[in-house]
Amino acid sequence: MAACPAFLFAAPASGQGKTSIVAALARLHARQGRRVCVFKCGPDFIDPMIHRVASGNECEVVDLWMCGVDDVAWRLARAARSADLIIVEGVMGLYDGEPSAADIATRFNLPVLAVIDASAMAATFGAIAFGLARYQPGLPFYGAFANRVGSAGHADMLQPGLPADIPWRGHLLRNADFALPERHLGLVLAEELSDLTTCLDRIADALAATPLAELPPPVTFGEIAAPELPPLLSGKRIAIARDAAFAFVYAANLECLRDLGAELAFFSPLAGDALPDCDAAWLPGGYPELYAERLSNRRDLWFALTKHVDAGKPLLAECGGMMALFETLVDRHGATFSMAGLLPGKVAMQARLAALGHQEAKLPEGCLRGHTFHYSTSETSLSPLVQAQNPKGRGGEAVYRRKRLTASYVHFYFPSNPEAVAELLS
């Protein structure tokens, strides 16, 4: 058994500022020499990048449906063996989603800290905290934290409204310098923010004067061993696109490939890198629409990938990676760019969200779980190999296949079925 101070940050809804606070708190404790491990509830790529910079350690996702209970359990237990503090950031509102952040907190006995945007309320702050704490019986609760508070006087109006058994965990004043910039898929990527650590340090300095500067009580995690994977990809070299256009990669996916025995070779299409010599290739999701002109000019790369596919070698293209493989891409301003042409048809950006949620694809190689989140739509003459489904069995994203090219809007979580991934890429 391993015990480690830990808690889960949640909120009544998205947009309450919990990501900034979690990252800044990780930064605060890391500056004090503590090893901080941050986890993110639910499918997410962008917030974990922020948390990785803040804590200095990889941030992993924990999702009871996509990852599975056993996967979440051993990752938390592994972290507890070496960390001085574990912080889990919830997703959306505390009780949103099936399963929710509250379900994770209850299953692993993680005390919940409610981050509440208090900018337009007084005593109602206490009512919201009371509802979050009591809605699900048995939920471990750590207290309430007020964000975007107008003044010290405003904070004095908030604290008395809390029930006696819900601790006040401090407040953070409203400050434009504490905000992290956003775009259509969420926060701007960490690597694009030259002043990220400066911003996090500002918030961390403010949090140093709150009760959050103290470690929470330890949580006990079971002694769970990592799964042992057969070396099904031993001797295989997998080329992985990795830059601002193809940035959406779960840390667990890379770990899974290595544990299967694969050698990983990273390359940057935006930097002009050639396709490495490889047995298989992977184009993850990202923001190809923001770099469409530069990608359009990478005719050498698209030619190399065409030869790769024509030779019968595997290529996995997820969401943004798939977008880059169509004949044309239309960006949010209506400009059209020629792309790789490995998939017939076009993809076009939309002003509104096109799809969001968990997905499960029953491929010939096996069943893989993941999620979808995109603002573009595609038109193609290809017939889907299979149609993914959401957890309730409703139709989801199409999965296309041409020779050994597999393409879909779905971002797969490789540890959900490592053997299927090995078959897909071998």
Question: In this model, does residue 169 exceed pLDDT 70?
Answer: yes
Average pLDDT over residues 219-225: 90
pLDDT number for residue 223: 84
pLDDT number for residue 130: 97
pLDDT number for residue 225: 84
In which band, very low, low, confident or very high, does the pLDDT at 188 lie, cut at 50, 70 and 90? Answer: low
pLDDT number for residue 401: 97
Which run of H or of E encompasses 144? strand 141-149
Count of domains observed in the chain: 2
Determine, yes or no, domain membership for 30: yes
State the pairing for strand pair 366-374/355-363. antiparallel
- Has 37 been annotated as catalytic? no
pLDDT number for residue 226: 85
Tens of pLDDT, residue by residue over 141-160, are 999 999 999 999 999 999 99
Q: Is the dihedral of CA 401, 406, 408, 412 positive or negative?
A: positive
In which band, very low, low, confident or very high, does the pLDDT at 206 lie, cut at 50, 70 and 90? Answer: very high
pLDDT number for residue 191: 61
Average pLDDT over residues 76-100: 95
The one-letter code for the residue type at 107 is: R
Question: In this model, does residue 186 exceed pLDDT 80?
Answer: no
Report whether 289 contacts 86 (CB < 8 A). Answer: no
In which band, very low, low, confident or very high, does the pLDDT at 183 lie, cut at 50, 70 and 90? Answer: very low
Q: What token pair was written down for 122? A: 């007084």
Shared domain for 214 and 242, answered yes or no, is no
**pTM of the complete model:** 0.93
Determine, yes or no, domain membership for 227: no
Report whether 76 contacts 105 (CB < 8 A). Answer: no
Shared domain for 194 and 287, answered yes or no, is no
Shared domain for 355 and 327, answered yes or no, is yes
How is 251-295 classified by DSSP, letter by letter?
A: HHHHHHHHHTT-EEEEE-TTTTPPPPS-SEEEE-BS-GGGGHHHH
CATH of residue 403's domain is 3.40.50.880
E-only strand ranges, 15-80: 36-41, 60-62
Shared domain for 207 and 258, answered yes or no, is no
Shared domain for 198 and 304, answered yes or no, is no
The one-letter code for the residue type at 64 is: L
Question: In this model, does residue 353 exceed pLDDT 90?
Answer: no
Mean pLDDT of the chain: 94
Domain limit, last residue, from 175, 195, 221: 221
Among 87, 218, 94, 114, residue whose Cα is nearest residue 168:
114
Determine, yes or no, domain membership for 231: no
Domain limit, last residue, from 193, 221, 249: 221
Per DSSP, what are the bridge partners of residue 264? 238
State the pairing for strand pair 218-221/2-10. antiparallel
Shared domain for 289 and 199, answered yes or no, is no
Specify whether the backbone of 350 is left (phi greater than 0), alpha (psi in -120 to 50) or beta.
beta
Pick the catalytic residue from 4, 67, 319, 367.
Answer: 319
Q: Lowest mean pLDDT: which of 23-27, 155-159, 171-175? A: 171-175
In which band, very low, low, confident or very high, does the pLDDT at 301 lie, cut at 50, 70 and 90? Answer: very high
pLDDT number for residue 395: 83
CATH of residue 188's domain is 3.40.50.300
* CB atoms inside a 10 Å sphere around CB 42: 24
Q: Which residues contact 165 (CB under 8 A, 6 or more apart)?
A: none
Distinct helix (H) and strand (E) counts, the chain: 12, 24
Q: Diameter of the chain by CA atoms?
A: 70
pLDDT number for residue 180: 66
The one-letter code for the residue type at 345 is: G
Shared domain for 217 and 257, answered yes or no, is no
Q: For residues 256 and 291, what is the distance between their CA atoms, to the nearest angstrom?
A: 29
pLDDT number for residue 421: 98
Report whether 337 contacts 331 (CB < 8 A). Answer: yes
Report whether 64 contacts 99 (CB < 8 A). Answer: yes
Shared domain for 243 and 322, answered yes or no, is yes
Determine, yes or no, domain membership for 15: yes
Shared domain for 302 and 205, answered yes or no, is no
Give the structural domain span for 326: 237-425
Question: In this model, does residue 137 exceed pLDDT 50?
Answer: yes
Determine, yes or no, domain membership for 119: yes
Determine, yes or no, domain membership for 232: no
pLDDT number for residue 179: 67
Question: In this model, does residue 238 exceed pLDDT 70?
Answer: yes
Instruction: Kindly report whether the peptide bond that precedes residue 99 is cis, defined as omega within 30 degrees of 0.
Output: yes
Shared domain for 123 and 244, answered yes or no, is no
pLDDT number for residue 354: 84
Q: For residues 31 and 222, what is the distance between their CA atoms, to the nearest angstrom?
A: 29
Tens of pLDDT, residue by residue over 308-335, are 999 999 999 999 999 999 999 999 999 9
Q: For residues 178 and 205, what is the distance between their CA atoms, to the nearest angstrom?
A: 11
Shared domain for 183 and 37, answered yes or no, is yes
Please identify which residue in the block is written with the tokens 């405003």.
154
